[in-house]
Each structure stands twice: as structure tokens, then as C-alpha cells.
């Protein structure tokens, strides 16, 4: 199958390309800056196409002649990201419809009950646009992704490493269901097999725990003891701002992640195992996921020198 990967130089995309090549697919690597593809070990094994979600002509050229499109576009910055993501989804869906693309695979996030933040609501809107298009779309609603360089994991790891006492706001005692980045990649590859499906799937690992328990586990595996103190009446924006300052991560991205922590980010169904993944597939255990992520973290992370995205040669 000829597969176009949008965001091919991003966190998930740069790891997905070699997985697709290993599975026997022909890969078209789409990137806003095509020259960056050459920096990756797989750069000479793919076709490279320019991809700009704000340029309909560039999108049409990128998707032409492909059998599937893996859509990994998410705006995490401030400003009018909701409108940008909405329009990008519409343009990509329309281009795929016109080009006769066989399927779209969209990596989204879990959609919890209750009132959604702008970022969570935007992801839901994007998947609805894709599912309503003529081209079948398989939407994978991934839980918190554990992997070296993953924004969610970096926020967790840096806070655990740098803050000797963990404050736990009363609204942050929700449950999470993390999933290893390797398992996310395997599921995306699996979604390209068989007949196209037009539906969403929740994607999480085998273990569900509270966010404070996840912090404690991360600290223990890092051979650290981090006492936790429950703190009432702390606004989310205060926690988001403090977390950004302590970790060195982008404030808008950090704020959106913190906002999600008031929800139970847990899978509502388990169809992905029965309909997409092979019967013998086993999800990576949480402790093993955290150990792999810690081993693969970029050099300089703990002194604030890491720009977040791992170097092309870093392990997944």
C-alpha cells in the first residue's frame, strides 16, 4: 500500500515511517519543510512531498496517487487553533475524496464525559469532519502516550524529577489509562490492514490508575521519593502556568494537557483489540513503558536544554 504520512518529521510520524516500511508499505513522507526528512535514517527510503494544511493545492498534490493517508496534524499553540484544525480537516478530507484515497487513519485523543476543553473539543470536531467525509476514516482515540519525547510523558517526567513535593489539586485525582508509543504505532499500522472502517476506536494500555498514582510510580522507577500534598481550590490556569515554568514546555501545550487532567481519561470500549489488532497482540506493561521512555529520553532533558522533539536517531 502507498501510504502518505502527514507530520512525518513529528514525534509520532518520525517513528511511524520506519514501522510502515518494515510492514512492507511504500511511504510518502509529507512535511511542511521537506528538507528536514533527509535528517532521518529512513529519509532515503521514502518519497518526500511538501504538505501545508493551509494550501489546498499542496494538499491535493500530496495525497495524489496514495492509497491511505495517516493524519497526524494537531495544533497545540494558542490563537485560532480551533478554526485552523477545522479548516485543515475539511481540506484534507475533500482532497482525499477527490483523489480516491482508500482510507484515512487519524490519531486523536480520548474524549471524556463532561464539558470539554477547547483542545479536546477541537480534536472531536476534526474526527467528526473526517468521519462524515466520503473517504472511510479510522479514528484512534489514544490515551496518554508514554514514550521518550512525548509531550505528555515529558510533562510527567520533568515534574517528577524536578519537584521534590508533588502538589495534587483536588480536581486532579482522576484516572488515566496510558499507552506505550510502540503500541500506538502498531495500532496505526494494523488500521491499514483489511477493509476500511469508518468509526472511532479508544486506544489505551491494560492498566488504569489515578494520576497521583502514576506520578508516584514514575518517581519510584526513577529511584525518587515524592511525597504528595492535596491542595484545594487551585485554578487550572495556575497549575498550567506553574507546570510550564517548571518543565520548560510550551505554555499553551502544557495548559491544554493540564486541562485534561480533571477528566477520567479512560477507554470507554475495547473494540480495537477485537477488530484491528492481531489475536496474539499484547500491550506493553506500564512499568516497562515508563522504563523504555526513561532510557530513550534526549540528552539534556533534565537541564532544560531539550527542545522536546528527540533527535532523528533517538530510539522510540
- pLDDT at 310 > cutoff 50: no
Q: Among all chains, which residue has been given the C-alpha cell 533527535? A: 311
Q: Looking at residue 77, what is its pLDDT?
A: 60
Which of 12, 112, 77 lies closest to 255, judged by CA?
Answer: 77
- pLDDT at 246 > cutoff 90: no
Assign 311 a pLDDT band (cuts: 50, 70, 90).
Answer: very low
Q: Looking at residue 98, what is its pLDDT?
A: 97
- pLDDT at 313 > cutoff 80: no
What does the block give as the cell for 121? 473539543
Assign 233 a pLDDT band (cuts: 50, 70, 90).
Answer: confident
Burial grade of 149 (CB within 10 A; 0-12, 13-18, 19 or more): buried
Alpha helix (H) residue ranges in 223-285: 236-247, 251-260, 271-275
What does the block give as the cell for 12? 509520532
Return phi, psi of residue 269, to 5°: -150, 170
The stretch 17-44 carries a mean pLDDT of 95
- pLDDT at 307 > cutoff 60: no
Q: How far apart are CA 212 and CA 78, in angstroms?
A: 28
Q: Among positive and negative, which fits the CA dihedral 67, 199, 316, 159? A: positive
Q: Looking at residue 255, what is its pLDDT?
A: 81
Q: How far apart are CA 145 and CA 56, in angstroms?
A: 31
* β partners of residue 29: 5, 48
Q: Looking at residue 136, what is its pLDDT?
A: 98
Give tens-digit pLDDT for 3-29: 999 999 999 999 999 999 999 999 999
Give tens-digit pLDDT for 249-264: 888 878 878 888 888 9
3-state secondary structure of 85: helix
Total count of residues recorded for the chain: 316
Give tens-digit pLDDT for 126-174: 999 999 999 999 999 998 999 988 888 999 999 888 888 988 888 888 8
Q: Looking at residue 267, what is its pLDDT?
A: 96
3-state secondary structure of 53: coil
Assign 297 a pLDDT band (cuts: 50, 70, 90).
Answer: low
What does the block give as the cell for 240? 498550567
Which of 177, 183, 54, 171 lies closest to 117, judged by CA?
Answer: 171
Amino acid at each position: 500500500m502507498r501510504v502518505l504520512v502527514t507530520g512525518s518529521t513529528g514525534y509520532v510520524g518520525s517513528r511511524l515511517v520506519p514501522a510502515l516500511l518494515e510492514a512492507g508499505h511504500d511511504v510518502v513522507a509529507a512535511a511542511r519543510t521537506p528538507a528536514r526528512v533527509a535528517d532521518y535514517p529512513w529519509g532515503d527510503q521514502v518519497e518526500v512531498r511538501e504538505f501545508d494544511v493551509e494550501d489546498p493545492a499542496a494538499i491535493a498534490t500530496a495525497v495524489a496517487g496514495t492509497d491511505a493517508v495517516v493524519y497526524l496534524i494537531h495544533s497545540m499553540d494558542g490563537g485560532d487553533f480551533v478554526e485552523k484544525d477545522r479548516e485543515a480537516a475539511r481540506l484534507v478530507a475533500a482532497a482525499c475524496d477527490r483523489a480516491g484515497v482508500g482510507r484515512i487513519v487519524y490519531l486523536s485523543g480520548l474524549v471524556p464525559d463532561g464539558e470539554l476543553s477547547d483542545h479536546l473539543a477541537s480534536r472531536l470536531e476534526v474526527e467528526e469532519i473526517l468521519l462524515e467525509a466520503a473517504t472511510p476514516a479510522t479514528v484512534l482515540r489514544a490515551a496518554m502516550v508514554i514514550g521518550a519525547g512525548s509531550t505528555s510523558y515529558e510533562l510527567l517526567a520533568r515534574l517528577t524529577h524536578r519537584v521534590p513535593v508533588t502538589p495534587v489539586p483536588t480536581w486532579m485525582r482522576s484516572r488515566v489509562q496510558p499507552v506505550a508509543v510502540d503500541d500506538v504505532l502498531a495500532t496505526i499500522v494494523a488500521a491499514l490492514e483489511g477493509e476500511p472502517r469508518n468509526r472511532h476506536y479508544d486506544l489505551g494500555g491494560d492498566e488504569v490508575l489515578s494520576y497521583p498514582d502514576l506520578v508516584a510510580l514514575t518517581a519510584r522507577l526513577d529511584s525518587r521519593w515524592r511525597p504528595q500534598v492535596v491542595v484545594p481550590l487551585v485554578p487550572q490556569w495556575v497549575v498550567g502556568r506553574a507546570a510550564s515554568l517548571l518543565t520548560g514546555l510550551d505554555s499553551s501545550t502544557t495548559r491544554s494537557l493540564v486541562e485534561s487532567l480533571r477528566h477520567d481519561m479512560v477507554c470507554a470500549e475495547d473494540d480495537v483489540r477485537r477488530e484491528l489488532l492481531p489475536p496474539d497482540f499484547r500491550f506493553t506493561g506500564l512499568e516497562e513503558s515508563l522504563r523504555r521512555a526513561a532510557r530513550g529520553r534526549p540528552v539534556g532533558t533534565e537541564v532544560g536544554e531539550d527542545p522536546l522533539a528527540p533527535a532523528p536517531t533517538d530510539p522510540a
